[in-house]
Amino acid sequence: MKVVVIGSGEMGHGIAEVMAIYKNEVTLVDIKDEILDKAISKIRESLDRLKKRGSIEEEPEDILKRITKSINLEEAVKDADLVIEAVPEIVDLKQNIFKRLDQFTKPDAILATNTSNIRISEISKFVNKKDRVVGMHFFNPPVLMQLVEIIKGPDTSPEVVQKLYEITKQIGKTPVIVNKDTPGFIVNRINAAESLFICLVLQKGINYEEVDAYFRSLGLPMGPYELMDYVGLDIVAHSLEYFAKEISPEYGKCTKIKEMVNNGLLGRKSGRGFYDWTKGRPQINA
Ligand code: 3HC
């Protein structure tokens, strides 16, 4: 199958990696060659780790041969069977990309969005082939996380949902079909409420390292603040902003995370958020 992933950031490069591991021909699209080169290095690093722990049989270089880079979206998508958009959570940006997908893809291509929160009906607003548009929401890191939400918009054809469900199983994941096209779908509807709560208690002066240490002591891989750093504080901030607009102004009461983002503290991707990530996962010894 020919898969095109648009956006080679945190999620996009991981999704391209998963698709290539499962023998698909993948084109990774972004706006600059330098960004794509960085994404390919991250995929190589991740494949090396998977190979080392025996999770893949093929050599990383052979898997990488199935990934092509492109900065020409129109050209890349023209014979794609499945397009997965994974650009930042900005409604206009996604709508614009889907307008172009509408025009340049084959009539039977599946047009999926990896949006974390935005309604599918909003993303497909200016698309004629609305029946081809569907949510395919992976979790970070896509290569290790099992769950994929498949979100049916009000106009998505049942055939598209079924086909994507099967594709998701073929790539070794556990698909869950979400029939209600609502902000945050299932998982992030709950995550956003948790993010809001832990941001508000932080603003009241709670020690976040102690909270994370407590959650780790329960056996969870990461505490909630470390997880926000891992996912990206910019992503969390966007999500809270969207929820403030769509669900309740309460979500706008969390100012601390936005402040951190404005100061360049994005979490793991910028090397610093709540924690210092420059030497790998933080030691939390509260
Ligand atoms: N690629 C390949 N291998 C990886 C990897 C990657 N990206 N990340 C970690 N690994 C491997 C490591 O090499 C290590 O292998 P080893 O056991 O052979 O040494 C193994 O996985 C464990 O990694 P670590 O020792 O670094 O750390 P952990 O044991 O904590 O595992 C983790 C890392 C899987 C990320 C784990 O911490 C975890 O599950 N964290 C929670 C992640 C989560 O909840 N994600 C969802 C976030 S919400 C979201 O994504 C929604 C979106 O819309 C924003």
pLDDT of 28 higher than 80: yes
User: What is the rounded end-to-end Cα distance, in angstroms, of the chain?
Assistant: 48
What is the fold, at CATH topology level, of the domain defined by 189-270? Answer: N-(1-d-carboxylethyl)-l-norvaline Dehydrogenase; domain 2 (1.10.1040)
- Asked if the peptide bond before residue 141 counts as cis, ω within 30 degrees of 0, the response is yes
pTM, two decimals, is: 0.96
Which backbone phi and psi does 106 adopt, to 5 degrees? -65, 155
For ligand 1, atom 37, the nearest C-alpha belongs to 221
Tell me: pLDDT of 286 over 80. no
| Ligand 1 contacts CB of residue 216 (under 6 A) | no
Q: Which two tokens stand for residue 254?
A: 């969390």
pLDDT in tens, 134-190: 999 999 999 999 999 999 999 999 999 999 999 999 999 999 999 999 999 999 999
- 145 within ligand 1 shell (Cβ under 6 A): yes
Please give the ipTM for the structure prediction: 0.95
CATH class of 2-178: alpha beta
The predicted-structure confidence for 201-253, as pLDDT tens digits, reads as follows 999 999 999 999 999 999 999 999 999 999 999 999 999 999 999 999 999 99
Whether residue 185 has its Cβ less than 6 Å from ligand 1: no
Nearest CA to ligand 1 atom 25: 281
Q: Which of 137, 191, 195, 239 is labelled catalytic?
A: 137
- Domain ranges across the chain: 2-178, 189-270
In degrees, rounded to 5, the angle at the alpha carbon of residue 140 between the alpha carbons of residues 98 and 149 is 55
Please give the structure tokens belonging to residue 69. 């880079």
Ligand 1 atom with minimal separation from the 117 CA: 53
Q: Is 116 a catalytic residue?
A: yes
Cβ density class 7-40: b for 16+ within 10 Å, e for less: bbbbbbbbbbbbbbbbebbbbbbbeeeebbeebb
Which ligand 1 atom minimizes the distance to the CA of 137?
53
Six-digit token pair at 170? Answer: 């073929």
Q: Is 122 a catalytic residue?
A: no
**Residue-level pLDDT at 238:** 92
Cα angle 143, 144, 150 (rounded to 5 degrees) comes to 75
128 catalytic residue (yes or no): no
Q: Is 121 among the catalytic positions? A: no
Q: Does any ligand 1 atom lie closer than 6 A to the CB of residue 49?
A: yes
Intrachain domains 2-178 and 189-270 with the same fold: no
